[in-house]
Amino acid sequence: MILHTLIDYDVLRLIWWLLLGVLLVGFAVTDGFDLGTNILLPFAGKTDVERRVVINAVGPVWEGNQVWLILGGGAIFAAWPQLYAVSFSGFYLAMFAILFALIVRPVAFKFRSKREDAGWRKAWDIALFVSGFIPALIFGVAMGNVLQGVPFRFDGAMHIFYEGSFFGLLNPFALLCGLVSLAMLVMHGATWLQLKTEGPVADRARRFGGFAALATLVLYALAGVLLWLYVDGYRISSVVDATGPSNPLLKTAETQSGIWFANYQAHPWTLLAPVLGLAGAALAWIGLLARREILALLASTVSIAGIVLSVGASMFPFILPSSLDPRASLTVWDSSSSHLTLFIMLVVTAIFMPLILAYTSWVYKVLWGKVDEKAIREESGHAY
C-alpha cells in the first residue's frame, strides 16, 4: 500500500479537518431542522391535527438525516481517535443526555398516534419537544466549552485524565453558545415548516421563526464580542511539525487573549464564515416575513454553515484545547490517525459520499410538497 504516499501526511490531515467541518455542517443543516421542528411542535400546532402536520413535515426524512451524525461520529473515531477519546469520555453525561433525547424521538414518532387519548398524545408531544430542545442546547454548550478549553491532560504514557464535571460545562459563555445553537435551529425548523406546511401552522412557524432569526443574529454577535474580550484562546509557541507523530505533548502551547481572532487578521478570507452566519440569519428573517420559502430556507442553511465553520476558522489548527495543560491540546497536526488510515478513509469517502448525497437528493425530490390537514385526516393509517 504505497499509494497513500501520493498525498502528503499534512495535506491528508488538513483534508480530514475540512471534511470534519463538512460533516458537522451537514448534520446541523439536515437534522437541525428536525430538532427545530420538534421544538416548535407545541407552538406551531395548536390542535391534534395541526401537530400531526408538524410531525409529518419531518417524519419521512428525519431518519435519513441522522446519517450525518453517524458519519461525523465515525469520522472522529477513525480520523481523530484522541479527539474521540477525550470528548466522548469527558462529555460523557452530556453525550448520554443527547443520546437519550435521540432515542426518545423515534419512539415518540411511532407511538404518539397509536391511541386516541389526548393525555397520551400530549405526553409524547412533550417528549418530542424535549428530544429537540436537549440536543440543540447541549451541542451549543459543547462548542462554548471547546472554545474556552476543556479540563483534560495526558500523563507520560498518553493516558487521558479528564478533571471536569457535567455542571462545570454549564458556565455562562457556554450557555450563551447553547442559546445561539437553540435559536439557530428553531429558525431553521421554522423555515422548513414554512416550506412544508400552509395555513395556521405555517403562519405560527413564520412568527416564531422570525423571533428566532433575530435572536440568532443578536446572540451570535454577542458571543463573538465576549469571545474577543473575555475568553483566552490558544496558540502554539513551538515549531509546528505538520507531518510529525500524533503526540500532542511534543509541542508547547500557551493561552493568549483575543488569539481566536488571529486567523481572521492573517487570512481575511476566513471572515466569510462569521459574515455568512450573520447575513444568513438576517436574510432568513426577511424571507420568513416576506413568505419567501426557498429564500428563507437557503438563508438559514447559509447562516448555520457560517456559524459552525466560524468556530473551526477561529480555532485552527486547534481541535480541542486543554485548559489544564495547553501543550496537551489536540491540533490538526498532532492528533490524527496514521497516514495510511487517513488515505484509506479518504478513498472510502470519495466512493460513498457521492452515493449518500445522490440518495438524499433523490429522497427529498420524491417527498417534495406540502403536508396539509386534509391529507393527514384521509391517510390516518399511513401518517404519523
Residue spans of the domains in the chain: they are: 3-378
152 phi, psi to nearest 5 deg: -135, 160
Strands (E), the chain: 152-154, 160-162, 232-236, 253-257, 318-320, 330-331
Contact status, residue 178 vs residue 97, Cβ threshold 8 Å: no
Kindly tell me the burial class for residue 44, based on how many C-beta atoms sit within 10 Å of its own C-beta (0-12, 13-18, 19 or more): buried
Question: pLDDT in tens for each of the 384 residues of the chain?
Answer: 566 667 899 999 999 999 999 999 999 999 999 999 999 999 999 998 899 999 999 988 888 888 888 888 888 888 999 999 888 888 888 889 999 999 999 999 888 888 888 899 999 999 999 999 999 999 999 999 999 999 999 988 888 888 888 888 899 999 999 999 999 999 999 999 999 999 999 999 999 999 999 999 999 999 999 999 999 999 999 998 888 889 999 999 999 999 999 999 999 999 999 999 999 999 999 999 999 999 999 999 999 999 999 999 999 999 999 999 999 999 999 999 999 999 999 999 999 889 888 988 888 888 888 887 777 776 655 567
For strand 232-236 and strand 160-162, is the pairing parallel, antiparallel, or unpaired? unpaired
Contact between 221 and 278 under an 8 Å Cβ cutoff? The reply is yes
User: What global pTM score does this model have?
Assistant: 0.93
Nearest to 29 by CA among 360, 347, 292, 285: 360
